[in-house]
């Protein structure tokens, strides 16, 4: 629906077409765009910029401009598939759904309710994520549901909950970045991974801001920096302790803020003053002491500043510690809760924020409630109309769910919106876990590597074939719109879950006919929780161009775009400063595996690549993975640019094309992870988990490298 507020510039309109306002399905920027709909065929035929949405103001990145090409892609799954005689063969929805419900019921009868696992993803709308959490608990009665945000946002979430008492990715709206005199980016390749956010950083620099980037690679983002701290992978907490040491030593802290708004300063001070002087930190991190001094002074002397971090710091077996360290910087300098002051995590997936608030996580109920909290349980059971004895407790985290499949504790999996055969760490083991299942159901719109192993494949609708809301990296709840009918017999995920529930005799709890029906229930279920959406309606989103949460119904005027202006979300209103002693990564280089391996992203591909590897323009730009090697290391190992290298870790090995580049530390190599099978970087990665967030250590392990003749 086009309204006055989002009416397109007239010259975008073509005869016979309609412009449907929506948002890009990929990253957490959730850039606004129009789908061009051809009225005669009812099909999306292109994309146009939308200037009315403040976050991207018409800008899009190379993935956004071709995203529409997936919608009517020839490889879309258009019918359910059932494996017969070893082959996936077309079937009717009735046949597929009867089989799924029947097998789930049978396995639960034999092995108990928790034998069914659900493994999801947050490329889905809030409505779908909400239904998924309820589907697990109410239709299937299993505690075993978790999702790919465990690999993405879980360390940032746990860190923020501990430090500031609430987990809203960015504590500020994007435009606060332009008011900052200094920006620290820790483990974020913003230019490639949140491309339209880089405009905010450019504008801040035009206003005189200085940029500090903490990354083992001189990425396109790091090239913009005034100070680039190219640390050894896995050493963020030590580096930040060094920055804190200098800030305290040189009195660049805000003692009044520390005294009135925080707890825990003295213990942290004792630790960093004792063990983290710049020369001590230089030995751990490989970053020169002068650069640590310089970065601390740039941040400490500025009046305003933002600290933002992403997966580089978080995807570690101490990701939570790293997040606490970065938040310490904001707290000791009082640079939080004021214009141009704050920061937080850069949410990855399109709905990485909303998708982690409404019950897809193993230990969570809607509204960011804890499943172990008796009051939360009682409230949600009332909303859902079930008895509390029917509501399961907490399940296990995503990687542990996969491991439980390997031990046959989970015998059937409903996998939707994720491709763990490519994206999970140590995926040679993951293949065994998936193959050990008695029954695998996958809902996807393409036949992903994981879907190819399934017993039943269910064709899902793509984002542009359904309505719903997502919550962007800032915590702004926005609307995506249905532009065309699903291709073939594809159906939205909420429809599929509803139909399975009906066959399990639980249809009365899933009586929804539209995403808006679901949203109305989500509002009620989230009411009073930390992520309170009760004051948000589809109409209000429309009117205000998105609504920031928390948005309680009884406080409609609340402006929560910038958080913590008066108080933090802990019961006493104070933030917690943590003393974070540095611990080494799960695996560090040794004589047999002498180098650091880190993995991450390219601007042209998205996640496990099932979507972007199907789009010709993106494949032309980045047809295959490679390993980035510093010229010194290449010379030492006899590797040549364009030649092949074999990488070997304790989990697996693979051959890759060598890209010799001076933009990486000489002791570290980098591989992008967007490809499957023998091209998958996750053959190599270490599944060591953070003890709190259960986040795997994608960002560092020990690797051996040799030339392949
Ligand atoms: N083009 C593109 N954009 C995306 C995505 C995509 O797949 N492709 N995915 C989206 C999603 S889901 C996510 S989670 C985000 C991820 O966004 P980012 O976190 O920005 O992306 P990554 O490339 O995973 O990692 C960022 C940087 O961390 C660095 N790094 C490695 N080890 C360390 C370390 O020990 N410490 C520090 N400080 N840095 C380290 C890497 O060199 C890398 O440049 O991107 C989102 N946007
Ligand atoms: N080595 C290494 N591994 C990593 C990372 C890393 O940095 N390094 N990063 C991790 C991170 S941050 C993330 S987020 C994960 C992501 O990894 P995955 O969870 O595997 O994410 P996707 O590749 O997006 O997989 C989503 C699948 O669901 C489908 N899909 C998309 N939308 C929908 C929908 O609405 N409904 C349904 N049913 N299907 C849909 C897509 O076609 C695709 O096949 O990878 C993690 N793995
Ligand atoms: S920056 Fe992110 S949301 Fe925007 S167009 Fe690119 S992938 Fe899509
Ligand atoms: Mo992610």
Q: What is the mean pLDDT of residues 317-330?
A: 98
The Cα 226–Cα 433 span in angstroms is: 46
Q: Which residue has the tokens 């059971």?
A: 381
Mean pLDDT, residues 415-429:
98
Domain of 400, CATH number, reads: 3.40.50.740
167 and 295 within one domain: yes
Ligand closest in space to the Cα of 223: 1
Domain edge (last residue) among 29, 51, 70: 70
> With a 6 A CB cut-off, is 348 part of the ligand 3 pocket?
no
The residue with tokens 């920061």 is 343
Residue 589 pLDDT greater than 50, yes or no: yes
What are the tens digits of pLDDT across the range 152-168?
999 999 999 999 999 99
Structural tokens at position 628:
């980035």
Kindly report the three-state secondary structure assignment for every residue of 17-47.
EEEEEEECCCECCCCEEEEEEECCCCEEEEE
pLDDT of residue 13: 77
Strand 227-229 and strand 262-263: the pairing is unpaired
Kindly give the number of the ligand 3 atom that is closest to the alpha carbon of 194.
1
Question: 216, 444, 674, 687: which to mutate for ligand 2, most atoms within 8 A of CB?
Answer: 444
Q: 236 — phi, psi (to 5°)? A: -55, -45
Task: Indicate whether residue 672 lines ligand 3 (CB < 6 A).
Answer: no
Q: What is the mean pLDDT of residues 518-532?
A: 98
- Taking the C-alpha atoms of residue 510 and residue 495, their distance in angstroms, rounded to an integer, is 9
CA–centroid distance, 310 to ligand 1, in Å, is 6
Instruction: Tell the residue nearest (CA) to atom 5 of ligand 3.
Output: 64
Alpha carbon of 138 to those of 128, 143, 355, 361, 524: distances in Å?
A: 15, 10, 18, 15, 17
Sequence-ordered list of residues with C-beta below 8 angstroms from that of 556, at least 6 positions apart, any chain: 535
Q: Is 681 in the pocket of ligand 2 (CB under 6 A)?
A: yes
The pLDDT of residue 609 is above 90: yes
Of all protein residues, the one whose alpha carbon is nearest to atom 6 of ligand 3 is 61
Q: What would the mean pLDDT of 396-406 be, rounded to a whole number?
A: 98
For residues 321 and 357, membership in a common domain is answered with: no
* Packing angle of the helix pair 265-275, 319-333 (nearest 10 deg): 110
The residue out of 305, 323, 345 marking a domain boundary is: 345
Domain shared by 368 and 267, yes or no:
no
Exposure string (b/e) for 136-170, b if CB count within 10 Å is 16 or more? bbbbbbbbbbbbbbbbbbbbbbbbbbbbbbbbbbb
**Residue 681's closest CA among 699, 661, 663, 659?**
699
| DSSP class per residue in 523-589 | HHHHTTSSS--TT--HHHHHHHTSEESP--TT-TT---SS--SS--SSTTS-EE---------SS--
User: Which of 23, 26, 54, 473 maximizes ligand 3 atoms within 8 Å of its Cβ, making it the mutation to test the pocket?
Assistant: 26
Ligand 2 centroid–CA 423 distance in Å is 7
CB 685 within 8 A of CB 651: yes
- Ligand 1 centroid from CA 549, angstroms: 25
DSSP codes of every residue in 83-119:
EETTEEEE--HHHHHHHHHHHHHHHHHHH-GGGEEEE
Q: Which residue's C-alpha comes closest to atom 33 of ligand 2?
A: 417
- pLDDT of res. 6: 53
Q: What is the DSSP letter of 496?
A: H
Q: Indicate the top mutation candidate among 119, 147, 148 to test ligand 2's pocket, ranked by most ligand atoms within 8 A of CB.
A: 148
Would you state the structure tokens that stand for residue 51, as one six-digit string?
A: 């200037």
Of the bound ligands, which one is closest to the alpha carbon of residue 228?
A: 1
Q: What is the pLDDT of residue 317?
A: 98
What is the residue with the minimal CA distance to atom 4 of ligand 2? 423
Q: What is the mean pLDDT of residues 404-424?
A: 98
Asked if 144 and 159 sit in the same domain, the reply is: no
Q: What is the CATH number of the domain that holds 59?
A: 3.30.200.210
29 pLDDT more than 50:
yes
Beta-carbon neighbours within 5 Å of ion ligand 4: 152, 348
Position 355 pLDDT exceeds 50: yes
How much is the mean pLDDT over the chain? 97
Q: What is the pLDDT of residue 7?
A: 58
Any atom of ligand 2 within 6 Å of the Cβ of 610: yes
Q: Are residues 327 and 233 in the same domain?
A: yes
198 and 326 in a single domain? The answer is yes
Ligand 1 pocket residues where CB is under 6 Å: 27, 152, 186-189, 192-193, 214-217, 219, 231, 233-234, 236, 310-313, 348-349, 598, 600-601, 603, 605-607, 670, 699-700
Is residue 709 predicted with pLDDT exceeding 90? Answer: no
What is the spatial distance between Cα 611 and Cα 300, in angstroms, rounded to a whole number?
Answer: 43
Same domain, 376 and 407: yes
- CATH for 682: 2.40.40.20
| Residue 552 falls inside a structural domain | no
- CA 205–ligand 1 middle distance (angstroms): 22
For 219, phi then psi, to 5°, come to -75, 170
In the chain, the number of structural domains is 4
- pLDDT of res. 241: 98
> Is 542 within the bounds of a domain?
no
Q: What's the DSSP call for residue 417? A: S
CA dihedral sign, ordered 599, 601, 602, 607: positive
What torsion, rounded to 10 degrees, do the Cα atoms 71, 76, 82, 88 define? -160
- CA-based radius of gyration for the chain: 24
Strand order in the sheet with 476-480: 468-471, 476-480, 547-548
pLDDT of residue 9: 56
Mean pLDDT of 383-405: 98
The residue whose CA is least distant from atom 41 of ligand 1 is 312
132 and 178 co-located in one domain: no
As a whole number, mean pLDDT of residues 114-118 equals 98
| 310 and 383 together in one domain | no
Say if 563 falls within a structural domain.
no
SS3 702: strand
Q: Is the pLDDT of residue 573 over 90?
A: yes
pLDDT in tens, 55-73: 999 999 999 999 999 999 9
| Domain membership flag for residue 567 | no
Would you say residue 522 lies in a domain?
no
The number of beta carbons lying within 10 Å of the beta carbon of residue 573 is 13
- In a domain, residue 536? The reply is no
Q: Which helix (H) or strand (E) holds 313?
A: helix 311-314
Q: Which of 551-560, 605-614, 628-637, 673-682 has the lowest mean pLDDT?
A: 551-560
Q: Are 629 and 645 in contact (CB under 8 A)?
A: yes
- 448 CB near ligand 2 (under 6 Å): yes
Residue 22 has pLDDT above 90, yes or no: yes
197 close to ligand 3 (CB < 6 Angstrom): no
Residue 2 has pLDDT above 80, yes or no: no
Closest Cα to atom 2, ligand 3: which residue?
Answer: 27
Mean pLDDT for 261-286 is 98
Helices 289-301, 319-333: inter-axial angle, 10-degree rounding: 50
Strands (E), 106-158: 116-120, 145-147
| Residue 4: predicted pLDDT | 46
Q: How confident is the model at residue 1 (pLDDT cuts 50, 70, 90)?
A: very low
DSSP 3-state of 6: coil
Q: Which of 51, 70, 89 corresponds to the end of one domain?
A: 70
657 within some domain: yes
Q: Which domain holds residue 32?
A: 10-70
Ligand 1 center to 314 CA (angstroms): 9
Indicate if 191 and 235 belong to the same structural domain: yes
Which of 63, 188, 463, 604, when mutated, tests ligand 3's pocket best, judged by the most ligand atoms within 8 Å of its CB? Answer: 63
| 613 Cα–ligand 2 center, Å | 13
Determine the atom of ligand 3 nearest the C-alpha atom of 23. 3
Q: Report the C-alpha gap between 526 and 534 in whole angstroms.
A: 6
pLDDT at 131 (0 to 100): 98
State CA 170 to chain mean position distance. Answer: 13
| Rounded mean pLDDT, 259-277 | 98
- Which residue among 54, 55, 57, 64 is best mutated to probe the pocket of ligand 3, counting the most ligand atoms within 8 A of its Cβ? 64
Residue 678 phi/psi, 5-degree rounding, is -75, -5
Specify the length of the chain in residues: 709
Q: Is the residue at 584 inside a domain?
A: no
Kindly indicate the confidence band of residue 12, based on its pLDDT and cuts at 50, 70 and 90.
confident
Q: Tell me what pLDDT residue 353 has.
A: 97
Q: Does the C-beta of 24 come closer than 6 Å to ligand 3?
A: yes
Is the pLDDT score of 3 beyond 60?
no
Are 324 and 200 in a shared domain?
A: yes
Percent of the chain residues past pLDDT 70, beyond the cut? 98
Spatial separation of the C-alpha atoms in residues 669 and 221, rounded to whole Å: 18
Kindly state the percentage of the chain with pLDDT values over 90.
97
My answer on whether 130 and 32 are in the same domain is no
659 SS3 class: strand
């Amino acid at each position: 629906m086009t309204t006055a507020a989002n009416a397109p510039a007239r010259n975008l309109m073509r005869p016979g077409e309609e412009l449907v306002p929506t948002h890009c399905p990929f990253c957490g920027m959730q850039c606004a765009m129009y789908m061009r709909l051809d009225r005669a065929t009812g099909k999306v035929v292109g994309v146009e910029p939308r200037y009315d949405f403040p976050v991207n103001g018409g800008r899009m990145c190379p993935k956004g401009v071709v995203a529409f090409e997936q919608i009517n892609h020839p490889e879309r799954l258009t019918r359910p598939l059932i494996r017969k005689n070893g082959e996936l063969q077309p079937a009717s929805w009735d046949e597929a759904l009867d089989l799924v419900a029947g097998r789930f019921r049978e396995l639960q009868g034999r092995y108990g309710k928790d034998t069914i696992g659900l493994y999801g993803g947050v490329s889905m709308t809030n409505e779908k994520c909400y239904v998924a959490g309820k589907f697990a608990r109410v239709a299937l009665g299993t505690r075993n549901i978790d999702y790919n945000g465990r690999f993405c946002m879980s360390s940032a979430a746990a860190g923020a909950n501990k430090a500031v008492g609430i987990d809203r990715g960015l504590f500020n709206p994007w435009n606060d970045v332009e008011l900052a005199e200094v920006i620290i980016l820790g483990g974020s390749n913003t230019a490639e991974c949140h491309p339209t956010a880089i405009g905010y950083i450019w504008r801040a620099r035009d206003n005189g801001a200085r940029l500090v980037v903490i990354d083992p690679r001189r990425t396109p983002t790091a090239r913009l920096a005034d100070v680039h701290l190219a640390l050894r992978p896995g050493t963020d907490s030590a580096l930040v302790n060094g920055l804190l040491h200098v800030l305290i030593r040189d009195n660049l802290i805000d003692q009044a803020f520390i005294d009135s708004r925080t707890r825990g300063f003295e213990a942290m001070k004792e630790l960093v003053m004792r063990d983290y002087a710049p020369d001590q930190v230089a030995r751990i991190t490989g970053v020169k002491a002068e650069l640590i001094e310089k970065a601390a002074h740039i941040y400490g002397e500025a009046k305003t500043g933002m600290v933002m971090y992403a997966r580089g710091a978080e995807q570690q077996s101490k990701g939570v510690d790293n997040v606490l360290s970065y938040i310490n910087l904001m707290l000791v300098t009082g640079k939080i809760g004021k214009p141009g002051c704050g920061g937080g995590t850069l949410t990855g997936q399109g709905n990485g924020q909303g998708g982690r608030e409404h019950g897809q996580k193993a230990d969570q109920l809607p509204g960011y409630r804890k499943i172990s909290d008796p009051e939360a349980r009682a409230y949600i059971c009332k909303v859902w109309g079930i008895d509390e004895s029917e509501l399961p407790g907490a399940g296990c985290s995503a990687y542990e769910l996969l491991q439980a499949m390997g031990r046959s504790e989970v015998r059937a999996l409903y996998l939707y919106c994720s491709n763990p055969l490519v994206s999970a760490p140590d995926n040679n083991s993951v293949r065994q876990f998936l193959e050990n299942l008695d029954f695998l159901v996958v809902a996807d719109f393409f036949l992903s590597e994981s879907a190819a192993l399934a017993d039943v494949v269910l064709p899902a609708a793509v984002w542009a074939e359904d309505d719903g809301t997502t919550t962007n990296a800032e915590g702004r709840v926005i609307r995506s719109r249905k532009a065309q009918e699903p291709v073939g017999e594809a159906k939205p995920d909420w429809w599929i879950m509803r139909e399975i529930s009906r066959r399990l005799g639980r249809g009365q709890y899933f009586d929804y006919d539209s995403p808006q029906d679901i949203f109305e229930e989500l509002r009620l279920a989230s009411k009073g929780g930390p992520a309170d959406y009760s004051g948000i309606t589809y109409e209000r989103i429309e009117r205000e161009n998105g609504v920031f949460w928390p948005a309680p119904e009884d406080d409609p005027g609340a402006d929560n775009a910038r958080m913590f202006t008066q108080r933090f979300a802990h019961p006493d209103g104070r933030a917690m400063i943590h003393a974070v002693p540095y611990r080494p990564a799960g695996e560090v280089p040794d004589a047999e595996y002498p180098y650091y391996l880190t993995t991450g992203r390219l601007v042209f591909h998205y996640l496990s690549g099932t979507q972007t590897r199907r789009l010709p323009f993106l494949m032309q730009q980045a047809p295959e993975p490679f390993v980035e090697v510093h010229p010194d290391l290449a010379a030492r190992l006899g590797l040549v640019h364009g030649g092949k290298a074999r990488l070997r870790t304790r989990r697996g090995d693979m051959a890759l094309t060598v890209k010799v580049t001076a933009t990486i530390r000489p002791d570290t190599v980098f591989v992008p992870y967007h490809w499957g099978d023998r091209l998958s970087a996750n053959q190599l990665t270490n599944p060591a988990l953070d003890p709190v967030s259960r986040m795997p250590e994608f960002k560092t392990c020990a690797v051996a490298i040799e030339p392949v003749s």
